[in-house]
Structure 1
Amino acid sequence: MSANASYHRSVRVSADLDSPLSRWLWLVKWILAIPHYIVLFFLWIAFIVVSVIAFFAILFTERYPRGLFDFNVGVLRWSWRVSFYAYGALGTDRYPPFSLGPEPGYPARLEVAYPERLSRPLVLVKWWLLAIPHYLIIAFFIGGGMRHGWCGGGGLITLLALIAAVALAFTATYPRGLFDLIVGLHRWVLRVAAYATLMTDEYPPFRLDQGGTDPAPAPASDPAALPDLS
């Protein structure tokens, strides 16, 4: 199995463009999303603490404790849903649930397969040295501040979402091409997020997979599918 195919078994990002969308609700979503931003502020503090604990757990045991893994995946899911609702995509008017779970009925979804084993040597370098090329790229996508975690505001993604919102206001239609591009940019960011926060050892591809449907098969936790990187 190729490295890219193996990677795609670990992380899957998908989204559905809702229709119809309100032509003007996007003007106040920054207010409506405030409760989520407050919760996410504290969740991301916890996310950082959990990632540090996981770093040492992987270093000594080659395993990411399952409870910690599920929590951090939940924070990424929550952030992705809020970003999709608000100014990271404006792709739905359905209010995001206050949930760390998968919420399969919501139009923005994220799956990360649990790794049975992770490399001790890689955990020392992948989150900073190996990820630097991706950091330089996604900083342009999401802005340098990353105010709400990996799906933070600013950057190219927010600009494209606002362009789509203006088109929606005047035509009652969200441009499909813009939607596909925006989701593709988020997919790149979230793949890097999973790698840099120690959830997978498979290096993210330098590839923009556009569209709401992730081209990868559903993630699996099959240890045999993961390369031996120790």
Structure 2
Amino acid sequence: MSQSVLHRADTRGHANHGWLNSYHTFSFANYHNPERMHFGVLRVLNDDTVAGGMGFGKHPHDNMEIISIPLSGDLEHQDTTGRQAVIREGDVQVMSAGTGLAHSEKNHNPDQEVKFLQIWVFPNKRNVAPRYAQQSFRAEDRHNKLQQVLSPSPDDEGVWIHQDAWFHLTDLDAGVSLDYTLKQAGNGVYAFVLEGDVTINGQALHRRDGFGLWEVDALAIKADSTARLLLMEVPMLG
């Protein structure tokens, strides 16, 4: 029998630092909730807004797969390997921290906000060589269909990470229905509603709600309004 967990948008952790307004689906920084530590190997889902010209100073990571998905504006990235890049709406960037590196992220524009998702996934291989990759995706390829943006393999669609995970984005017109079939037995799916209203397996969801399902083979998705949705299929722990 399928299992599920529902995280309404207004139950998330919240930290407003002025330059950074951040909502935490799972425990992060000063937000600690023992009921909200992770969903399988999905450890962090932060919904961040950064003021013009501001950003995160250089800070270290190791043994974590970190995914950045801009929702609007431009995010500038620099790291200790000398890499510098700007990611925009429609891009997905991954960082395999592996043995360790340091990076900084800031709003590329002085006069407008940048909104992005920061997602952390526990890897299935430790102490790999640090790696970055990013890719741009066409909006028309997710209109009323599932667009794969992340997978476990460099030979599959989208960027890849060291984990048996698959991410999909979709932009749905009101009334459209889609099915999602899980890629790997034992995985679960965490659905995050970016915009609008959807119903998944009978559960009504609204903007910024999160809904995790496991012990399930497929999801039935229906858009109750114009909607944007991120699906994150990940292995479950234990």
TM-score range, shorter chain: under 0.3
Whichever structure has more strand as a proportion of its residues is: 2
